[in-house]
Chains A and B, each alone.
Chain A
């Protein structure tokens, strides 16, 4: 679970980001102006900052110059190359142009957290404990053996907890875009995960859509 500062002056979008990031287990603080963001970053530490370029009181670049030690993803309606270059020049970790897909945003947030080593190292629910770095899974204190593919699939489901992922999305994320398998492959692996880890109540099948890990 990471602590994320959302700097976006449009309340609708700020709330949207907060809702989705909190759903996957992050803790969020919202700022509607650049000044609020600098103030919040001065008071508490953050693992990541989502930063809009066009803020009412100052440009996002100005905020980034003041808040230097927090990994940053720029969020903006402008897709101009010069803006991207400027953002990356200041040390931005990624750049997302509006309108964006929520799933894409979550994936990019995870990627930046992984790159900056700020992702969670352990996850537990009911009697299940997972140590991500050691690739170890314990159910009721006993170690359970998972194949690398099952482990990756579990990781993706939990990273996107409470969010439904389509079979196609799971295939491309867990098996890679080059994999030519059928979506049936996903169903088989999900069945195995449910059985091995006693996750029937948590890995839900969403009608006509895919699977969702629910806490």
Chain B
């Protein structure tokens, strides 16, 4: 696992923990209020029943207290309330669905066979112990709803946060890993040829070849470094934009690539000249490489659009898909290198979109369309 992926996992875990902590902090008062509300209601109800029971029993003739108590409590048989009366731990009366043993003076919840019950255990002034109990289905459902809502909200926020963080870190780190990959090839070659020159008995011709490869590969390395700097500028958008003379830009490219022909119908655009030059150089370089020797590569500047057209061998569907959406590909395309992602970055920095399509004769047309008001 790469370092940035480890950092990502660790930060996500930490954020998720904090998030769930916060969700718990927010939900806890609501849960407490639900529990307190249900308990208060039960206590009030139990007090009222206990008071009435006391009065009724006080009025009962001597020796008839127990039958009167039974008659009084039987009245609640169909109300969902159940009772148990004991005297010095000896059972006198019970309508509880299951045996319960709670010390007098306690209030609370108990769960039996998946159902939540609320009980109040009380000692009456007459010496009897009264246990009041009722099923708290509504409270149970409310508590479950509150906990589920908190957990779902927490998970949803955590998922959105994790995805956003991953996308951000992926974007920041992907070009770096691509670059590291791209740098390894010239490094391997330079190191290998230097060691070979030092250790191996080579003919003059072989020495020339080894030294040429070192020179060639070091140029490649310095190009990568230059691209990295441009990429950095493109990302940071730190370079101030200014008017760019399109004709001068195209002419400069033609000096490097003599087969380039151009037409300018959009004389000035606003942007960064160095970045645009790097982008066009990349596109033209690819176009020239794909074309037969001496075949023309056409540059055209029409209002808000720049195109690079070649009449080469064209690209496969797979390659076209890659050059149009390089960020969708985890792996570096063998022929793509860092050039194409860099071109897209530069286009983006200019508020433009870069697209590649197959030309009428099978070649490739790269189109840079400017949408941003920065252009003129």
Bitwise, A4-32 to B at CB < 8 A (1) or not (0) is 00000110110110011001000000000
What residues of chain A lie closer than 8 Å to B187, measured between beta carbons?
98-99
Size of the chain B interface, CB-CB below 8 angstroms: 26
Task: Decide if B199 touches A12 in the complex (CB within 8 Å).
Answer: no
**Chain B residue with the shortest CB-CB distance to A101:** B195
In the complex, A162 has a CB within 8 A of chain B: yes
Bitwise, B171-197 to A at CB < 8 A (1) or not (0) is 000000000010011111101110110
What residues of chain A lie closer than 8 Å to B201, measured between beta carbons?
23, 162, 164, 212, 214
Task: Decide if A12 touches B334 in the complex (CB within 8 Å).
Answer: no
Closest chain-B Cβ to A43's Cβ sits at a distance in Å of: 25
Interface residues of A in 159-173 (CB under 8 A from B): 162-165
Interface residues of A in 85-107 (CB under 8 A from B): 98-103
Chain B binding surface SS class: helix
Task: Decide if B209 touches A99 in the complex (CB within 8 Å).
Answer: no
**Chain A residue with the shortest CB-CB distance to B185:** A10
Closest chain-B Cβ to A68's Cβ sits at a distance in Å of: 24
What residues of chain A lie closer than 8 Å to B202, measured between beta carbons?
19, 23
Task: Decide if B213 touches A16 in the complex (CB within 8 Å).
Answer: yes
**Chain B residue with the shortest CB-CB distance to A77:** B184
Task: Decide if A98 touches B199 in the complex (CB within 8 Å).
Answer: no
What residues of chain B lie closer than 8 Å to A12, measured between beta carbons?
185-186, 189, 193, 213, 216-217
What residues of chain A lie closer than 8 Å to B200, measured between beta carbons?
19-20, 23, 162-164
| Given A13-B192, A16-B192, A98-B185, A164 contacting B198 (CB threshold 8 A) | yes
Closest chain-A Cβ to B142's Cβ sits at a distance in Å of: 49
Residue among A98, A100, A209 with most chain B CB within 10 A: A98
Task: Decide if B334 touches A54 in the complex (CB within 8 Å).
Answer: yes
In the complex, B11 has a CB within 8 A of chain A: no
Name 5 A/B residue pairs within 8 A (Cβ), A-sorted: A16-B213, A19-B196, A99-B187, A164-B198, A164-B199
Not counting A19-B202, A77-B188, A98-B187, a sample of 9 additional A-B residue pairs whose C-beta atoms are within 8 angstroms of each other reads A10-B185, A10-B189, A12-B186, A13-B192, A16-B213, A23-B201, A78-B181, A164-B198, A214-B201
Q: B: which residues have CB within 8 A of A? A: 181, 184-189, 191-193, 195-196, 198-202, 206, 209-210, 213, 216-217, 331, 334-335
Q: A: which residues have CB within 8 A of B? A: 9-10, 12-13, 15-16, 19-20, 23, 54-56, 77-78, 98-103, 162-165, 209, 212, 214
